Chain A
């Protein structure tokens, strides 16, 4: 799984590695389309997190830093997207209605979210039912029960790459189903609702 198996003591080692790898981490963030201005910010954030939140020795420290950074880049983009959506709501809504809307959002009962999630789950299950039994089983083991790909391979007595193939297929099918609650899942403007369930499945506006 990891090409670089030696452990690095947290305090000085990881921090040092952060500094050493700075140029390539920068490059990675740019490839992840983080704006030039945000890159240093994220790297600084990474540095702080390494100092404050990493508690045990880390195996494969370089991959670990990439993983952290990759998650942070994703989180940041999501936060920005939400912020923009919120700003758009505020700007778009006639004044006076805003407060009520916002209040509604705050009050949005957990129950409603649960109903939506149940609905989503039902559609996921329906989609899985159309796949080969073993593919669906591997997906459930991985995504719902949280087993690692290796554990699944071992349990089923199949190769890791076979597990990957099952997952690839299941994800291809399941990720097309959008949670109706997720605003980013809304179909592209102009693409019409038909784009929602089409075979391509990629929503080009999901930025």
Chain B
């Protein structure tokens, strides 16, 4: 009897979980009523959410290396992608992923007539997806990238930061455009950050070619490049530190505080105001990004040796 009751509560929890990915006002009201009807409902709902979230690693593998399932592919939503049998059909839906817990991203297709589409993240939101050719892209917060569903080997970074693990194909190199600059992979993992007038490329594995019409530079693992207002500066960085944000940590060697603060805003969606007398300061160290905003606030204050106060808009950092 009790098992039956549990079973039906669980079914209801699953139904809510499914419906609330795109819930109407009325759905949210109904959900609140259901929660209030029995204190166990929330627990069961949470368990369902957890179990669904726990599927994510397995689902990511399925997206990267699709399992051919005999006799299943009856409805091909994008027939133009059909010719390549194996990976193709995963590509584009994976990008559209509006899975329960990434509801905050703005997904903007640019219409049915062009094959370009944009994927955006809000500050504080990261998003991982795979392209048809096996290339994996991780978007940091506050980032916009334009992809082409007819051609998985091109992408345009409109702004923000992303890490690319590119599946190498000598015949069709993967090309990332940022403004009038281009980064062409030579089989690699690389991180790109694009702000106003400043582009930074860091190569973690393999190599890329950087082109801006005037210059062609080859960057190998551990090489970095800063391009901004007409100058190009090459540098280096330990590969283990590159793309640290994808692993929840920010690593700095003598970096200006402005940069540190911009990274925090991007990764966590917290607006930060920096006192003008300290904006020239520099920081070396590792900032772990886990935990809630309050514990991060404390940690950042300790690490920087500065006062971090929560304000109505975010944080204010002062001496």
Interface set of A (CB-CB < 8 Å, partner B): 1-4, 27-28, 31-33, 41, 45, 48-49, 51-56, 60, 62-63, 66-68, 70-71, 74, 76-79, 113-114, 116-118, 120-121, 124-125, 133, 136-137, 140-141, 143-151, 155-156, 164, 167-168, 171-172, 174-176, 178-179, 181-182, 184-185, 199-204, 206-207
Contact = CB atoms under 8 A, between A and B. Distances in A.
Contacts of B123: 52-53
A52 B314 contact: yes
A27 B29 CA distance: 11
Interface majority SS on A: helix, strand, loop or mixed? helix
Nearest to B45: A32
A20 B58 CA distance: 41
A118 B61 contact: yes
Interface stretch (B7-15, B168-176, B193-201, B252-260): B7-15
Interface in B24-61: 24-28, 32, 35-36, 39, 42-44, 46-55, 57-61
A67 B47 contact: no
Contacts of A156: 75
Interface stretch (B88-96, B150-158, B215-223, B301-309): B88-96
B54 A168 contact: no
A66 B28 contact: yes
Given A67-B20, A172-B11, A202-B6, A147 B96 contact: yes
Nearest to B124: A53
Interface string B92-104: 0111111101011
Given A31-B36, A200-B7, A202-B47, A114 B61 contact: yes
A120 B55 CA distance: 8
B120 interface: yes
Given A121-B58, A182-B50, 12 more contacts: A52-B270, A53-B142, A55-B106, A71-B104, A125-B69, A146-B93, A146-B98, A168-B14, A171-B48, A172-B10, A175-B51, A184-B54
